[in-house]
Structure 1
Amino acid sequence: MLKTAFTHYINNFKGFSREIWILTLVTFINRAGTMVLPFLSKYLKEDLHFSYNQVGWIMVSFGLGSMLGSWLGGKLSDKIGFYKIMIFSLFTSGVSLFFIQYVTTFWALCASMFVLMVIADMFRPAMFVSLSAYAKPENRTRALTLVRLAVNLGFAAGPALGGLIIMGIGYSGLFWVDGASCIVAILIFALLVKEKKKVPHNDKTESPVAIKSVFHDKIFWVFLFVSFVTGMIFFQLFTTLPLYHNEKFSLTEFQTGLLMTLNGLMIFAFEMPIVGFMERKSFPKIKIILLGSLVMSLSFFMLLINVWAGILVISMICISIGEILTFPFSNAFALSRAPHGQEGRYMALYTMSFSLAHIMSSKIGFEIIARLGYQINWFFMASIGIIATLCCLWIKKALIDEKVS
């Protein structure tokens, strides 16, 4: 029985082109090398001795650069092709990381972080668009999930390696290793993968009608709001929740780490099989996203039960299930919604919704906690999750009306 289950699990990884596997490897190397980000605020505060206010503004510059980079990456992918953007972005940001360690003044760091993230985050929408060229239409959602798996595994390995490097040679080592990983990753991609033109996707279930511009696509803008909200709820996992674990239940860093590990293990074990099953059964993507946002919302309602530490485990399981159902199919829905030739712009806006969610999640969460306490924050996050679920219901109806008209 165990052997059968393992065989079924492995079968979910079959059917991908050589290019998809290389792209997955490149993504893993790049994300495992992303060691500066988890330690950036710590580096700015402890090594460069900036105030909390200054650290906050540098992180805002970081976020704004990420948003602009996402938009530029998508727009230029449509104009000159995803392949050139991917190579330019990773190579240039890799070289930039070598030099940014020598920037130590406040305004120069704000400008440097902004420019670095503009260049670095041009990669993300271009990478999403590359999947429409290298993945078959019938396994595109699984290809997106495979790349997401590489991102998660890379992020799991990166901070641990980063901690060892800081202990060994200091923060400067992070910039050298991060920059080198970007350059190595993109050289592997350039040497092993040839440029290929995008082919029109053929998604029978949710293919778009004739849309002149992304700015006129009302369904997509409501979907972007759903992506923003689910992103904002999910990022509480890395901002307010670790503090809550300690302040309310006196959990140690190790115990909080175990809860985070539970999330990572669930993604690793269940995401690909669930996505593979849903893809084979041709479930409408928006229905799955609706279910995911509802489960994610319920996980925060559960946190209102603040008299038993075990609720943290149950809530984490629900957040993980919500993540598995929401994010892979959100990626796929955004790509399937885009008319041929506008994939880059659609994926740019989709990526930007998460960049904005990343900025707003901690700002709004900590502001509510400071003024009204943790319980109100959990209720607020759960409530906007319900609003996102209702928006999914509207999108589901609008898609039916769109096909009829």
Structure 2
Amino acid sequence: MKKFLGPYKDLPNNVFVIFFARMVNSAGHFVMPFMAMFLSNKLGLSTEKTGYFMMLAAFAYVPGSFIGGKLADHLGRKKIFILFQSLAALSFIPCAFLGNSTVIPWLLILSSLFGGAAGPANGAMVADLTNSTNRKEAYSLLYLGHNLGFAVGPMVAGLLYKNHLPWIFIGDALTTFLSLILVAVFIPETRPDEEKIAEIHDDLEINERAEGGSLLSAMIKRPVLMTFLFCIMLYSFVYVQHLFTLPMQMQQFFGDDQGAKYYGFIMATNALTVVIFTTLVTKLTLKLKPIFCVALGGIFYAAGFGMLSSISHLYLFIFSTFVWTLGEILVSTNGMAYVANNTPVTHRGRFNAIVPIIAEAGHALGPLWTGKYLMTHRVLSVWQLTLYGAFFIALLLFALHYVENGRTQKLKQEEM
């Protein structure tokens, strides 16, 4: 099978197991995409109450992530991942039998808490199973697996929602347990003990070597990584506009009915581009360093989103989506590879807890700040800001790439 997989053919078998596990789990991702609709339509909650519970579900992920990251570094990746992901799935099952009970929102929040705790352990597991020479391919494959599954999940959930609602909760839980069985059976515990860490010390990149101290102390020693994460946060502010500003623009240009229909075409283009072009983009950029690829992604963001300020035909909107989705592929597949390459082996769980929170802050703040901006500005002016913003961030990342190369060479010379 591997010979048909191009740049992925030399990855460890364990990475392929995680690929299938993520694809199965994402294919059963039924509940959360329909949470807002369920709370408002089925439970009859007001928009204010619905927003309140969705905010709590999002916030619950944060303490869960910190707890899971700490435990993954001290107790092991596999057991923590299986424990908390199982608890997240179990939280869905009662929802299938509670009808319109007001207990359901709290169970969904609890599931988000447990899911947050499982995430860092899973991320650390991937970092343990790979190294700096194959992480780009590994994260690309896992990104592809997630999107292959997610392309199916919401569609199936949409078919179940009207007449078979309990199966949304049961189906999400069952696919989660199926993915956990793959991990439980085929993936060993990956957390290295002290003896293993000493054994692999010389094989690790300088920034991956074991360290004592807290997460904060490890992060302070990595100013380039902190600047990189700040850039990713700004990227997410740009990227989230396809969920906030773009649908408003489509409605303004094409009317409510046609705008919604055409926006569906846009999202389908995004999904198809990810599925079809991820492997090709990975193959073409295989010899480029992750931080350089993330910077290159910003150029595609600038071009794809920037052109939205001056187009009005549907085929140009589709072309724009193709361009900015190429940027999404470059940023998503290389961003985590870069972080893993700069995370000490002793802190992988904790870094995988804090990194998504920092990186996705822009995703959370983007709609809020853009909404306030649009109270006094035209929609099209948002795209001019994304053009200049994404281009500036890309230039900063290219500069970081140059600085990092010089710093790495200096450290290697000092070791000799």
**242-251 or 195-204, which moves further after superposition?**
195-204
Question: 1:180 and 1:374 mapped to 2: Cα distance?
Answer: 43
| CA deviation after TM superposition for structure 1 residue 360, in Å | 2.0
| CA deviation after TM superposition for structure 1 residue 239, in Å | 3.3
Would you say the 8 A contact 2:93–2:170 is kept in 1?
yes
Q: 1:49 to 1:355 in 2, by over 3 A?
A: farther
Q: 1:210 to 1:19 in 2, by over 3 A?
A: closer
- Which of 255, 259, 264 pairs up with 2:271? 264
Would you say the 8 A contact 2:86–2:177 is kept in 1?
yes
Alignment partner of 1:169: what SS? coil
Would you say the 8 A contact 1:63–1:355 is kept in 2?
no
Question: 1:356 and 1:105 mapped to 2: Cα distance?
Answer: 32
Question: 1:192 and 1:390 mapped to 2: Cα distance?
Answer: 42
Q: Does 1:188 align with 2:202?
A: no
1:263-282 equivalences in 2 (<5 Å): 263-279=270-286, 281=287
Would you say the 8 A contact 1:9–1:273 is kept in 2?
no
Alignment partner of 2:183: what SS? helix
Q: Which amino acid aligns with 2:391?
A: I
Q: 1:144 to 1:395 in 2, by over 3 A?
A: same
Q: Which amino acid aligns with 2:33?
A: P
Q: Does 1:165 align with 2:160?
A: yes
Alignment partner of 1:49: what SS? coil
Q: 1:52 to 1:373 in 2, by over 3 A?
A: farther
Question: 1:113 and 1:390 mapped to 2: Cα distance?
Answer: 41
Q: 1:232 to 1:67 in 2, by over 3 A?
A: farther
Q: 1:398 to 1:210 in 2, by over 3 A?
A: farther
Would you say the 8 A contact 1:57–1:110 is kept in 2?
no
Question: How many residue pairs were aligned?
Answer: 394
Question: 1:99 and 1:367 mapped to 2: Cα distance?
Answer: 40
Q: Does 1:376 align with 2:396?
A: no
Q: Does 1:30 align with 2:35?
A: no
Question: 2:82 and 2:389 mapped to 1: Cα distance?
Answer: 38
**392-401 or 206-215, which moves further after superposition?**
206-215
The unaligned stretches of length 5 or more in structure 1 are 1-6
| CA deviation after TM superposition for structure 1 residue 95, in Å | 0.3
Alignment partner of 2:45: what SS? coil
Question: 1:18 and 1:44 mapped to 2: Cα distance?
Answer: 41
Would you say the 8 A contact 1:227–1:350 is kept in 2?
no
Would you say the 8 A contact 1:299–1:318 is kept in 2?
yes
Match of 2:214 in 1: none
Question: 1:384 and 1:64 mapped to 2: Cα distance?
Answer: 27
TM-score (norm 2): 0.85
Alignment partner of 1:372: what SS? coil
TM-score (norm 1): 0.88
Would you say the 8 A contact 1:29–1:185 is kept in 2?
yes
Would you say the 8 A contact 2:304–2:324 is kept in 1?
yes
Poorly superposed stretches of 4+, deviation over 6 Å: none
Q: Does 1:120 align with 2:115?
A: yes
Question: 2:50 and 2:31 mapped to 1: Cα distance?
Answer: 14
**79-88 or 59-68, which moves further after superposition?**
59-68
Question: 2:126 and 2:33 mapped to 1: Cα distance?
Answer: 27
Would you say the 8 A contact 2:136–2:290 is kept in 1?
no
Identity of aligned residues (%): 20
1:126-275 equivalences in 2 (<5 Å): 126-135=121-130, 137-170=132-165, 172-198=166-192, 202=203, 207=207, 212-250=217-255, 251-275=258-282
Question: 1:136 and 1:125 mapped to 2: Cα distance?
Answer: 17
1:298-337 equivalences in 2 (<5 Å): 298-337=303-342
CA RMSD, 1 decimal: 2.7
The unaligned stretches of length 5 or more in structure 2 are 212-216, 412-416
Q: Which amino acid aligns with 2:231?
A: V
Q: Does 1:58 align with 2:53?
A: yes
| CA deviation after TM superposition for structure 1 residue 396, in Å | 2.1
Question: 1:67 and 1:247 mapped to 2: Cα distance?
Answer: 36
